Amino acid sequence: MIEHTNACINGVWVAASSGATFAVENPATGQTIAQVADLSATDALSAVDAAYTAQSGWAKRTAKERAAVLRRWHQLILSEQEALAQLITLEMGKPLAESRGEVNYGASFVEWFAEEAKRIYGQTIAAHQPTQRLLVTKQPVGVVVAITPWNFPLAMITRKVSPALAAGCSVVIKPSEETPLTALKLAHLAIEAGFPAGVLNVVTGLDAPAIGEALIADSRVRKVTFTGSTAVGKRLYAQSAATVKKLSLELGGNAPFIVMDDADIDAAVEGAMLCKFRNAGQTCVCANRIFVQAGIYADFVSRFSARVAALQVGDGAHAGVEIGPLINRDGLAKVEAHLADAVAQGARVEVGGTRHSAGALFFTPTVVSGVTPQMRMAQEETFGPVAPIYCFNTESEVLALANATPYGLAAYCYTRNLGRAFRMYEGLEYGIVGMNTGIISTEVAPFGGVKESGLGREGGPHGIDEFLEVKYGCFDLGLDPEECR
């Protein structure tokens, strides 16, 4: 299953110049599963050398040629679905069923942007002078650095690099040090698919801040795409200013999940389960604040708590498991701190509330009622299997509560009133709104946030534009203006 533990640079598997490695652990068991090359910031710059050298040749290939390589990569990813799923579960802990879903989801971006490669259109503009012709074309931005998180170690790579590759850019991927093995497996399949040496590179290393700073400081890197915390995103934003790079940032969220009193309660409970507890609550679009209208509050809490209590916790590699471990001790500590703060301020634990006996990084799926906006879990992303439920009375009240955050990635609302649905959709200050659904991610639609949740969009027809520059050409035909009339 684990074929490579060295970085992939210029089509070659490269160890750190110092020979250093770092351990990758299975969060479910605490066991070391591999020792991976621990590159320095200086080592990482060799990936920029390779990408820069490969860039022009890859950009000169026709869109159809680039699309063909992407399609082969897509097919190889699907052919290795089970091996990739097991690797994802091994290094980050999510249940195998979710890992298999991630492989399919991640592969869908490769397929989508293989098709979009041939749809990068320019335009002609009616000229302002009779002797001139005006053209607009789109060209690849250049070398792209993609910095990806641990919670979706495959899909967050393909969602970023597929449009870049389709547009004609070369890429340097810096995966999370928690989950580098999936990235290396993807690079192996990319080489097999036929990407030229240097077009797709993977840099592994523990010192993510130093590596990121070195990559971003290089003027040959023209685009940075990052998924992660808002704090780190702001730092990358500032660093990118020195060379005025194009930037895509998919940052933190604080998603409201709103259930109106006219909603289908069973459907809302099911949506909340899917939205909140996927990946043990470790997703940027999962419900961080569940708002339920007063008329159905008690009923919803009762039904939802019963469903949560039945969730099966354990090693994601085992059959029937629905909730795996948290990624590390910091993640566990944050969950416990948020819960302790809420209880100290009067919240009530309906279900769970303790660590789970499955292992050191497991936490029992938890429902907390009586949560108020003053509590930490209302202000910060918990990123764990804890569902806080708030009670509200009016539509205007819940809109104000939902928008009272610097974040604006995803929001959800359940109602059977069409007018209310449109009012909520338009009133929620979020880049993505799920109306009567708890699952909103798809390769065919733009994914991204507003406010401090980020910049740019990934997926859909908008996704490839993030990796293109618009060029305007003004052609003078050298004619006498009178001859043109």
Residues annotated as catalytic are: 250, 284
d(CA 120, CA 59): 13
Phi, psi for residue 343 in degrees, rounded to 5: -65, -40
Do residues 348 and 368 make contact, with C-beta atoms less than 8 angstroms apart? yes
Q: How far apart are CA 263 and CA 265, in angstroms?
A: 6
Distance CA 123, CA 261 (A): 50
C-alpha span between 156 and 183 (Å, rounded): 10
Helices (H) and strands (E) in the chain, counts: 14, 22
Length of the chain: 485
Cβ-based burial of 320 (10 A; exposed 0-12, middle 13-18, buried ≥19)? exposed
- CA pair distance 197, 200, nearest whole angstrom: 7
Residue 74's Cβ-side half-sphere holds a number of Cα atoms within 13 Å equal to 21
Task: Say which amino acid occupies 398.
Answer: V
Give the integer Cα–Cα distance in Å for 98 and 331. 20
DSSP result, 211-269: HHHHHHH-TTEEEEEEES-HHHHHHHHHHHHTTT-EEEEE----EEEEE-TTS-HHHHH
- Burial label, 483 (beta-carbon count in 10 A; 0-12, 13-18, 19+): exposed
